[in-house]
Amino acid sequence: MAKSDSIMSVEDEVLANLRRQPLGRAEAGTVADLNLPLEFLRRVADRVIQSSFRERHRIVVGNVAREHAAPGAAGSGPLPGWVRVLPARAIVDRGWTECRPGVRGFRAPILGGVEWPLEVPAELAAAARVVNGRLALDGLTKTVLAVGVLGANADEAAAKFRAVGVPTDLSGVAVQGGFEAAAENGFGSIGVIRVQLTGPGYYEGIGDGGSLDILRQLMAVSPGVAFVASVEERHVAGVLGQVRSWTPAEGTTLVVIPEALPVAQWAQDNTKAGYRVGEATLLAPRWAGRGEAGGIFVPGENALIDGLPRAGLKVSQSAMLFEGGNLMLVREPGGRRVLLVGEAEVCRNVGLGLARPRVLEMFCAEFGADICAVLPASSFHIDLEVTTRTHEGRVLAFVPDTMKAVRTICGLAAEKLAAAGMMSSHEAEVCGTDALPKVFAALASALWRRASGPGQYPLSMAEVFRSGEVDSGVGNLQRILFAHDWLGAELIPPSGYPVDRHAAAYLRSLRRAEADRRALQRQLRGLGWEVVPVPAISSEEVSINSINGVQDARRYLMPAYGGFFEPLDREAEAAFAAALGSSVEIVPILTGETQRRGGGLHCAVSAMAGL
């Protein structure tokens, strides 16, 4: 065997590390027991490679991590009449911790549901090892038979089966019926918008695009809409200090729900909006969390669901595991209801002992869909890859045009570098042409000349790309570096990639992600939909993504990045307008800080019909 053949590739190392990740305590097994498909794991591994490469080799020296700015004295005195703050509530301390649940079939005991433990009792460890080792491979029925009899009577047996990880609520034909997910392609008007605020104020100030700023903007352009905001109790006073200075649209209201546990921003993921018996309803997952390979239970994201009915929202819980940003219901002009499903959601539920066809059958039943279309995980959620709208009798699927966005970014970077004397006028002119190899070389020369070390760039260089007080020069430089890397991954043949193993794996991962994106778009065309490219980048914390928006009956609420990249926002807005005409208003909502955290507008809100 040649020496090079004996060295494990970076991709294989990351795959092996993912499979070794523990599920709960030692007896609960590892991610390998979830029987995740290789192609899906490879896509997850690619995101790990990209993130780790950026952390190690795309460093802005002198950068300081930003936290929420102090709330300040933005307003004082009595609250305006359009704001209502609910009393704080005590929650039961269940000993929840942020973890991959050790009990495979765990279901969050919310909304009055039965108690499920997160970890397996020591005396049942042997039975739990059988469940965790066989459930994803053999299915629910065979696993239960392998475990054998637990308990002296039916109640005791049921409790012990839950404790060892058997999802007893999925046995037989148990399906949550009667719920219909709301179509997200422009049917119906928005009556309620739910958000989750992560701190007491802005990150930088008005226009920064963080969770509080998104709420401020939406309230200003949403007449008659009722807003509901979950906020950690210790941040409520700071939030109210800011809210007092706002001027919302006519008839807009805000209910603030204090929560005892920390609240993350991603309101889309722990509920899905729809209807039950004609009433607007939110559907919560089996348990709410984050992550793809096994998923991580997040206590606050589950606890806050119990607070939503206090604001008048109707909520029920699904038997299925899901993250809302990875499920999108599209109603076609002919009436067919198509549920777009990110492949991670199928994998989660196969891990509960359901065969893949059964998973799709249950998703259709629980979300009121006619068919499911499973999409590859080219991003960690499909709402970062597609937004749909029915227009003039056809379904339009808007998707990222990475190449167009990269070319615009390279041109903007060259203009700023030339203006700052960091690039010659000739190099800047080249960057405005279609000669992409020359664009790549010219930008590389300018960037590398200013590097303070391999993969390291001074804060002073980042500040060149800052446009305004709430813009992020660091975030902007990282996006420019990504655009240049992406161009290199596409232009350079793999045989010409760097000798450095990590750098070569990073470029390969970018190329594979774009191939996955093209495959996803082919699937959308296969549904009979018209695919409309929009200049955008979907790459987690370095995204500039206008796709992750919200469709209203007459409007598209488009996430905008703002600041230095405002010209790219305008290009995206023009692409939407060209496809939709004057009948649909494009409303940009600044989301820069949210995008720097890997999300967008759709990720941050849950929109539903009026109550």
How is residue 349 written in tokens? 């539920």
The vertex-337 CA angle with 335 and 338, nearest 5°, equals 135
Annotate 265-290 with b (16+ C-beta within 10 A) or e (fewer): bbbbbbbbbbbbeeebbbbbbbbbbb
DSSP 8-state symbol, 395 = E
Higher-pLDDT residue of 463 and 27 is: 463
With contact defined as beta carbons under 8 Å apart, do 547 and 402 qualify? Answer: no
Counting Cα atoms < 13 Å in the Cβ hemisphere of 581 gives: 5
Tokens of 529: 């939909």
Give yes or no for a contact between 245 and 75, defined as CB atoms under 8 angstroms apart. yes
- HSE-up of residue 211 (Cα within 13 Å, Cβ side): 29
The pLDDT tens digits of the residues spanning 273-323 come to: 999 988 999 999 999 999 998 899 999 999 999 999 999 999 999 999 999
Q: Give the pLDDT score at 178.
A: 81
Write the pLDDT tens digit of every residue in 556-591: 999 999 999 999 999 999 999 999 999 999 999 999
Q: Are 314 and 178 in contact (CB under 8 A)?
A: no
- In terms of phi and psi (left: phi > 0; alpha: psi -120 to 50; beta: otherwise), the region of 278 is left
Task: Put the strands of the sheet holding 279-284 in their side by side order.
Answer: 179-181, 272-276, 279-284, 315-317
Structure tokens at 130: 């059988």
pLDDT in tens, 223-278: 999 999 999 999 999 999 999 999 999 999 999 999 999 999 999 999 999 999 88
Q: Give the mean model confidence (pLDDT) for residues 473-489.
A: 97
Using the predicted structure, report yes or no on whether residue 175 has a pLDDT greater than 70: no
Mean pLDDT of 198-209: 94
Largest CA distance in the chain: 83
Return the minimum-mean-pLDDT range out of 97-101, 531-535, 565-569.
97-101
Rounded Cα gap, residues 572 and 559, in angstroms: 10
- Domain spans in the chain, listed from the N-terminal domain onward: 98-174
The pairing of beta strand 279-284 with beta strand 315-317: parallel
DSSP bridge pairs for 586: 556
Query: What distance in Å separates the CA atoms of residue 271 and residue 20, rounded to the nearest whole number?
Result: 30
Rg (CA), the chain: 25
3-state secondary structure 182-239: CCCCCCCCCCEEEEEECCCCCCCCCCCCCHHHHHHHHHHCCCCCEEEEEEEHHHHHHH
Average pLDDT, the chain: 92
What pLDDT does residue 52 have?
96
